[in-house]
Structure 1
């Protein structure tokens, strides 16, 4: 009898650094093609899964004849066009990239495809067009099941909502049922916490720099590959920043700061985002890890360790790249290529591998 990995081949489009492939690979799927135009992200993918099937290029340049048959296609066409921070314009060229995804579906003829995107993708014109393609267009052989899944409900230490669309030509496939819950009951396990993900990591990084190391991918030299504590480096905050961090308890944020530590814009804006300059809680999942998690003014990214009566037991820093990668559910020894900023972007843009694995495990029941 052949192994699952012999049978279930997959293509990863807009693959990034490979977060989705990690989850599918862990469930026995075999990647036969991955496409990513960002060189650092493609190099990270190649460092972990091999350069042979990794294509570092613009997806539009890949010819139809170079698209192999596959059991499954996965991927997230870039979401900047859909995101609240984007232009929201239907004409945004990034919004057209999902049409490339559909071209691959038509050529590779997978049994199943999975599209992942930002939460509000399901409220966009592009999403409506996607549903129309399945109703009476080029995807009419596929039944689509869309929905928003929360990574924490599938064993990831992070409250990250993502729109997931499962397309199937072997009968409609529902979205996977949650395995974890905030208030567990029955077979559901409790949400995994920040402590579960990073509680064992050294609280005091010994460096502020990446090691001096280079590799060759796609015929070009790039920084890396780095793994483990290589990417566990600190930053050099100002005395003002340190004073601010010291006032913020777990779950708190800029509203915990005394007047003399408020910036002018915070002093004048009494309402608004509460997670700015926020501190994580040990015993809850983190909020969404974005691409600028190393900037505390961008969200709830301060290390969770803080005790009210013991100032010496406070860790006044943002999470490191290593801690962010663990909260994104990457393996402890995952390899990374690129600069500090490029690696942060790869981590923040990734699909948590635990969420991907939950989808992969669910699909196997229908594909086998």
Structure 2
């Protein structure tokens, strides 16, 4: 088994792809990774992580974690309060094969953008703690995930430069669209992958297209499912839902029933086509965010039922296994689901990492540091959207 450390872990979407047998779609995959440590500043996320992976978790800001190498080479992590009082200690093996993680991305994200992505938002600097941990643990391979905007920021280039200094061969950084890798959801995320044991690359698209219908097949019976969480809509909201057809949105409501359309929408005849949108059965969903239970926030209405999708349905669109257990309030669970990397996408990356670990090259030089500006000019930061490259 290969030892894995998950930083900024959330509920463990990345770890799920590395650690779970994802069922009949991937019968050839035998889990070969075990999580030895997870760090996240959200206690509910850590509780979820520990529930599913029986792993050690620290619920603390990563900057409050004190690290020490023990005489026998093992690594000790101490959760502290004000860097003085030790609340919890975890000791992990000397050998860590893989470090994964997604430093908080709000400072880079489109939703969080003010003037530009290089503003001194403190969240934009948390990647430094990720790189520091890579330096301390010296894993064979590391994987960092973030929003696509990371690869157009100065911090993105700094991450590559620092990893190169540590002796890592760097795969060409890319933005992967989860819907091209067997995930029933259009979700684009940036990935940076480095290896100390030989060349490695991010996976090519599988073009296995899965839909909302696929995701919702064989869901647990609602009566036995704690994640079958429904809102209690007001009569006016329910009346609005009933007007919107499959694939429709607020513009259908405006056209058919202006009398029950919010005035602010009537006064804004242009804008997002996803607000108060209904999903299509036979297409992937759009990106599942943290407020998927609010139709006014996006395309989150069930394809033919007059309600927003449930937490279980959102988790299925994210490709969490149906027996994955979430802990926390309804809002906290929604946040864990919406912030996660889809496990099936993580699994596709894990297969490349596993292959490299199985066939290491102990003596191998680093490659030239990828230049994000040049890659962007050449159009190489994004994968082709379909088989024809369009």
Match of 2:279 in 1: 280
Match of 1:146 in 2: 173
Task: Point out 4+ residue stretches in structure 1 off by more than 6 angstroms.
Answer: none
Match of 1:99 in 2: 128
1:174 counterpart = 2:174: no
Whether contact under 8 Å (1:303, 1:318) holds in the other structure is: yes
Match of 1:330 in 2: 320
1:121 counterpart = 2:124: no
1:194 corresponds, among 200, 209, 212, to 212
In the alignment, structure 2 segments of 5+ residues that lack a partner are 21-30, 69-75, 78-93, 359-390
Change (3 A) 1:141 1:316: closer
Note the C-alpha offset of 1:89. Answer: 4.8
Change (3 A) 1:50 1:200: closer
Match of 1:216 in 2: none
| Number of aligned positions between the proteins | 319
1:11 counterpart = 2:5: yes
CA–CA distance in 2 between the matches of 1:172 and 1:95? 28
Q: Secondary structure at the match of 2:289?
A: coil
Note the C-alpha offset of 1:132. Answer: 2.5
Change (3 A) 1:73 1:132: same
Whether contact under 8 Å (2:6, 2:99) holds in the other structure is: yes
Whether contact under 8 Å (1:281, 1:304) holds in the other structure is: yes
Match of 1:130 in 2: 159
Change (3 A) 1:39 1:202: closer
1:20 counterpart = 2:10: no
Whether contact under 8 Å (2:6, 2:37) holds in the other structure is: yes
TM-score, normalised to structure 2, is 0.78
Q: Secondary structure at the match of 1:64?
A: strand
Note the C-alpha offset of 1:275. Answer: 0.7
Q: Secondary structure at the match of 1:335?
A: coil
Q: Secondary structure at the match of 2:172?
A: strand
Whether contact under 8 Å (1:149, 1:161) holds in the other structure is: yes
Match of 1:155 in 2: 182
Q: Secondary structure at the match of 2:127?
A: helix
CA–CA distance in 1 between the matches of 2:239 and 2:186? 28
Note the C-alpha offset of 1:174. Answer: 1.5
In the alignment, structure 1 segments of 5+ residues that lack a partner are 181-188, 207-227, 306-314
Match of 1:211 in 2: none
CA–CA distance in 2 between the matches of 1:62 and 1:353? 27
Cα shift readout 1:328-368 (whole Å, capped 9, x = no counterpart)? 11111111111000000000001110001110012111110
- 1:180-329 matches, within 5 Å, as 180=207, 189=208, 191-201=209-219, 229-257=225-253, 258=256, 259-305=258-304, 315-329=305-319
Match of 1:84 in 2: 110
Whether contact under 8 Å (1:328, 1:353) holds in the other structure is: yes
Note the C-alpha offset of 1:144. Answer: 4.1
CA–CA distance in 1 between the matches of 2:153 and 2:219? 40
